[in-house]
Amino acid sequence: MINVAVIGAAGRMGRQVVEAVEGHPGMTLVAALDAGDNLAQAAQAGATVAVDFTVPAVTEANVHELIDLGIHAVVGTTGWDADALARVAEHLTQRPELGVLIAPNFALGAVLAMRFSAAAARYFESVEVIELHHPDKVDAPSGTATHTAQGIARARREAGRAPSPDATTHDPLGARGALVDDVRVHAVRLRGLVAHEEVLLGNPGEQLTIRHDSFDRISFMPGVLEGVSQVARHPGLTVGLEHFLEL
Ligand code: NAD
């Protein structure tokens, strides 16, 4: 039995995680915490793993506190940058038995789409990423899109591929989107959407589109539960659920 605490338990994702943990035969929900609660309650309740789906402004502080409390962490909150990740990795050196998994996307299809995009990117002259989300999302581009673009950029560098061609010299309004590691990323916010991503790959005379759609937050739960099951066996910092899967 794994004793689990959920942080951000009153949020859209947190509520879903609470339900998923309660429905898992190998897990017990021992704490459901939200803003204003003290994380020490998770330790007092006997949690060995905590799941964080909160907000970008607080997630890093939560993870440092969980490390101090001796609790493994599975983190879905987005907004992490390289410096914040490095601080967590450094902190974990003081507690080498603990594992922290930070995954920008827990949907198995999204993880596969990232993997397929990186595999394809070396064979195409042009590649751009479009992420599409509900309009209540506070950060852009999404963590998934950033992670996807970074994976594509790494694959292209390894293959000696030049950045995608682009003759634009005048773009005062930023219509060409963000640049993540030399890969263009576009963010759409539209009522009715949940979480979607398209990777467009272009060559002379052909296009490959890799698209993933999360229609419901339930799509993230198998990945979250996999993370909770495995995090104690993966000490140190892991970024991306793909490292816990046999792909
Ligand atoms: P939400 O706003 O519905 O929920 C956030 C919750 O965190 C709220 O209940 C809020 O009160 C709580 N909170 C704020 N500060 C807190 C604190 N200090 N301690 C404890 N709780 C606190 O947001 P959401 O839609 O559930 O998304 C949460 C995060 O998860 C976002 O960053 C989102 O982008 C991300 N997300 C990740 C994935 C993934 O697969 N990795 C999937 C969907 C969403």
For residue 246, is pLDDT > 90?
A: no
For residue 186, is pLDDT > 90?
A: yes
**What's the mean pLDDT in 225-230?**
98
Pocket test for ligand 1, best of 6, 19, 54, 215 (most atoms within 8 A of CB): 54
Q: What is the pLDDT of residues 161-177, one digit of tens each?
A: 999 999 999 999 999 99
User: Six-digit token pair at 194?
Assistant: 């949940």
CA distance 18 to 103: 18
Q: What is the pLDDT of residues 2-39, one digit of tens each?
A: 999 999 999 999 999 999 999 999 999 999 999 999 99
2-102+218-244: CATH superfamily: NAD(P)-binding Rossmann-like Domain (3.40.50.720)
Q: What local confidence, expressed as pLDDT, does residue 198 receive?
A: 98
**Neighbour count for residue 189 (Cβ, 10 Å):** 13
Centre of ligand 1 from the C-alpha of residue 156, in Å: 33
Catalytic (active-site) positions: 133, 137
For residue 237, is pLDDT > 90?
A: yes
Residue ranges of the domains in the chain?
Answer: 2-102+218-244, 108-215
- Mean pLDDT for the chain? 97
Q: What local confidence, expressed as pLDDT, does residue 13 receive?
A: 96
**What's the mean pLDDT in 136-151?**
93
Q: Assess whether the C-beta atom of 6 lies below 6 angstroms from ligand 1.
A: no
Q: What is the pTM of this model?
A: 0.88
Q: What local confidence, expressed as pLDDT, does residue 247 receive?
A: 82
Q: Assess whether the C-beta atom of 77 lies below 6 angstroms from ligand 1.
A: yes
Q: What is the pLDDT of residues 52-110, one digit of tens each?
A: 999 999 999 999 999 999 999 999 998 899 999 999 999 999 999 999 999 989 999 99
**What's the mean pLDDT in 140-151?**
94
Q: What local confidence, expressed as pLDDT, does residue 162 receive?
A: 96
Centre of ligand 1 from the C-alpha of residue 57, in Å: 10
Burial 126-136 (b: 16+ CB within 10 A, else e): bbbbbbbbeee
Q: What local confidence, expressed as pLDDT, does residue 156 receive?
A: 98
DSSP symbol at 232: G
11 close to 37: Cβ distance less than 8 angstroms:
no
Q: What local confidence, expressed as pLDDT, does residue 216 receive?
A: 93
Name every residue whose Cβ is closer than 8 Å to that of residue 210 and which is 6 or more positions away in sequence: 113, 116, 117, 120, 198, 199, 201
Q: What local confidence, expressed as pLDDT, does residue 79 receive?
A: 85
* Fold held by 108-215: Dihydrodipicolinate Reductase; domain 2 (3.30.360)
Q: What is the pLDDT of residues 115-133, one digit of tens each?
A: 999 999 999 999 999 999 9
Q: What local confidence, expressed as pLDDT, does residue 77 receive?
A: 96
